[in-house]
Amino acid sequence: MTTLAPLDVLCAANKDFLCRPIGMLIDGAMVAAQSGKTFAVFDPGSGREIAQVAEGDAADIDLAVKAARRAFQDKTWSGMKAHARERLMHRLADLIEAHADELAELESLDQGKPVAMARHLDVAGSVDYLRYMAGWPSKLEGSTIPVSVPYMPNRFFAYTMREAVGVIGCIVPWNFPLMMAVWKVAPALATGCTVVLKPAEQTPLTALRFGQLVMEAGFPAGVVNVVPGFGGTAGAALAAHPDVDKVTFTGSTEVGRHIVHAATGNLKKVTLELGGKSPVVICEDADLDIAIGGAAMAIFFNQGQVCTAGSRLLVHKSMFDKVIEGVSAIASSFKLGHGLDPETQLGPLVSKEQIDRVSGYVKCGLADGARATAGGQVVDRAGYFMQPTVLVDTSPGMKVVQEEIFGPVVVAMPFSHMDEVAAIANNTEFGLGASIWTRDLNKMHALAPAIKAGTVWVNCHSIVDPAMPFGGFKQSGWGREHGKAGIELYTETKSVCLML
């Protein structure tokens, strides 16, 4: 266990950012909440309060939506020449790059993850994502459609156009705070939409810094608004707002259901990236030198707080003991510590609530008859640290096997034949990701189509790319993010039909 990093290690910019209440971004200005209220933000590596942030509620959401609507209607953004929009998006990416160390430090402090990971994954990934999406404004094409009306052949010419959906409400979780915000805001900007972003209450800091950089980049006021606050107030108001055209949500399946209900008032469009219980399938012929480490990272990366975490480990019975021994050894070897300590390999969980939830699941699994071959305990120290945990002797109906724990806990089970794997893999309500570890291409090609998941990885896990569609089957979501499939969901298709 590494020691706590004191706050005086922060760079001057972050010290300055955190030293006074942080406002919300509405219509181009950082402003206080209408109510005057603020809420505390904590460092999960120590449990200490690190900032006070404006607490947005329905009144602030309403102002932000009005600003976003005006910015959409006046066409300063959607009507801007495509290359000018692209240039602004690249300028924003440049600014994030220029402030990369500072943003990584802030993300690590707020979320808990190791600062090197925040720098090389969260911040670098956000820059790449913005640059990928910055390529789209000049490439949003429609098509020409052959129409043949039976009683008037050859009299019509038709084509389609793609138009921005309008005002987008973006609601994001706390596991990759900046990156999740960018995954929503960047495609919205690329298509000419305007946005109101609500970051998670646990981790609002990088989204607010992002908002400041949006203004510094020179985006017109109102195009991007950032309103921190609580899900039940600010989030619910955004999802229900009658002047929001679409809500794009990443979070739990349970809250996803609330979003869908809230959206019915004006039948706004909804895309949902929800929970998962992704299987990691290690076949009899797998290269264990890579599969064991791969299975460990599939679950323990980001302390298991990853929607696609490989939280169910399915191993051929002939190598089950060896794989469990290997994954358990890796689990026990991680250096846990404060995210800002350069020695740290795994940080804390994000909050007190999350550690209670995760440790509650582990207790429940043990009570149901599972056995821990690694971890199982909350670490007795300041902050919210959980031992990476491997549970065996599980059975399909256990809560720990069926429900998303969203922490560093993997449930392992052996299988005997390849023909039973798909049924086991598909035996949850989720369908987000899966990985297959094998050297046999025929086996992989037989299994990949049989697994109901939005992404199937082979000899890797949780690899995402801005160009590769990402999303869930079953109760893991609606729609796709990334690539052309993601972009299309921020546009409406209009058919134009001319009589010749």
Q: Does 44 bind ligand NAP (CB under 6 A)?
A: no
Are the CB atoms for 373 and 328 separated by under 8 Å? yes
110's contact among ligand NAP, Mg ion, none, with CB below 5 to 8 A by partner kind, is Mg ion
- Single out the residue of 41, 226, 274, 392 in contact with ligand NAP (rule: CB under 6 A): 274
For ligand NAP, the closer of residues 28 and 231 by Cβ is 231
Strand ranges in 290-442 using DSSP code E only, listed in sequence order: 312-316, 371-374, 389-392, 409-415, 433-437
| Closer residue to ligand NAP in complex, CB, 217/309 | 309
Of residues 105 and 110, the one with the C-beta less far from Mg ion: 110
Per CB under 5 A, the segment of 37-45, 285-293, 375-383, 412-420 that binds Mg ion is: 37-45
Instruction: Tell me how far apart the terminal alpha carbons of the chain are, to the nearest angstrom.
Output: 76
Residue nearest to Mg ion (CB): 110
| 259 near ligand NAP, rule: CB under 6 A | yes
- Inter-axis angle of helices 82-98 and 100-111, nearest 10: 70
Which of these, 25, 209, 19, 8, lies nearest to 107 by C-alpha position?
A: 209
Enumerate the H helices of 74-230 as residue ranges.
Answer: 82-98, 100-111, 115-117, 124-134, 177-191, 205-217
As a whole number of angstroms, the distance between CA 188 and CA 195 comes to 7
> Is residue 54 close enough to count as binding ligand NAP by CB under 6 A?
no
105 lines the binding site for Mg ion (CB under 5 A): no
Of 217, 270, 227, 210, the closest CA to residue 27 belongs to 227
Q: Please, what is the angle between helix 288-300 and helix 320-333, to 10°?
A: 50
Pick between residue 356 and residue 465 the one whose CB is nearest to Mg ion: 356
Q: Cβ 218 to ligand NAP, closest distance in Å?
A: 28
| CA pair distance 37, 50, nearest whole angstrom | 17
Q: In this chain, which stretch among 103-111, 138-146, 148-156, 247-255 interacts with Mg ion, using CB under 5 A?
A: 103-111
Q: What is the closest distance, in whole angstroms, from the C-beta atom of residue 307 to ligand NAP in the complex? A: 3
Out of 258, 338, 461, 480, name the contact with ligand NAP by CB under 6 A: 258
Q: Which letter does DSSP use for residue 118 in this model? A: I
- CB under 5 A: which stretch of 40-48, 81-89, 92-100, 435-443 binds Mg ion? 40-48
Cβ of 193: how many Cβ atoms within 10 Å? 27
* Nearest residue relative to ligand NAP (C-beta): 231
Of the ranges 269-277, 367-375, 395-403, 455-463, which one interacts with ligand NAP (CB under 6 A)? 269-277
- The interface partner of residue 388, options being Mg ion, ligand NAP, none and the CB cut-off 5 to 8 Å by kind, is none
Which of the choices Mg ion, ligand NAP, none does residue 251 contact, using the CB cut-off of 5 to 8 A by kind? ligand NAP
Which partner in Mg ion, ligand NAP, none is near 477 (CB below 5 to 8 A by kind)?
A: ligand NAP
In the bound complex, what is the minimum distance in angstroms from residue 184's beta carbon to ligand NAP?
10
Structure tokens at 207: 């989204």
3-state secondary structure of 419: helix
**Reduced DSSP (H G I as helix, E B as strand, rest coil) percent helix, strand, coil of the chain, to 5:** 40, 20, 40
Q: What is the 3 state secondary structure string of 161-187? A: EEEECCEEEEECCCCCHHHHHHHHHHH
Q: Which does 230 bind (CB under 5 to 8 A by kind): ligand NAP, Mg ion, none?
A: ligand NAP
Instruction: Kindly state whether residue 110 participates in binding Mg ion, applying the rule CB under 5 A.
Output: yes
- Told to judge if 307 belongs to the known catalytic residues of this protein, a careful annotator would answer yes
Which pair of structure tokens corresponds to residue 277?
């219980």
Residues from 187 through 246 that contact Mg ion (CB under 5 A)? 202
Task: Answer for the pair 469, 134: CB distance below 8 angstroms, yes or no.
Answer: no
Sign of CA dihedral 485, 486, 492, 494: negative
The CA distance from 269 to 407, in Å, is 31
**Catalytic-role residue among 86, 105, 201, 273:** 273
Minimum CB distance to Mg ion smaller for 354 or for 475: 354
Among the listed residues 283, 307, 404, 481, the single catalytic one is 307
Applying CB under 6 A, among 196, 239, 244, 291 the residue interacting with ligand NAP is 239
Q: Does 206 participate in binding ligand NAP (rule CB under 6 A)?
A: no
Among 88, 200, 224, 314, binds ligand NAP (CB under 6 A): 200
Decide: is 110 part of the binding site for ligand NAP (CB under 6 A).
Answer: no
The 3-state DSSP class for residue 201 equals coil
Q: Give yes or no: 170 in active site.
A: no
Q: Are 196 and 169 in contact (CB under 8 A)?
A: yes
Residue 60 makes contact with ligand NAP by CB under 6 A: no
**Contact, 172 vs 256, CB < 8 A?**
no
Give me the least distance between CB of 291 and ligand NAP, in Å please. Answer: 24
- Residues belonging to the active site: 273, 307
List residues near Mg ion by CB under 5 A. 42, 110, 202
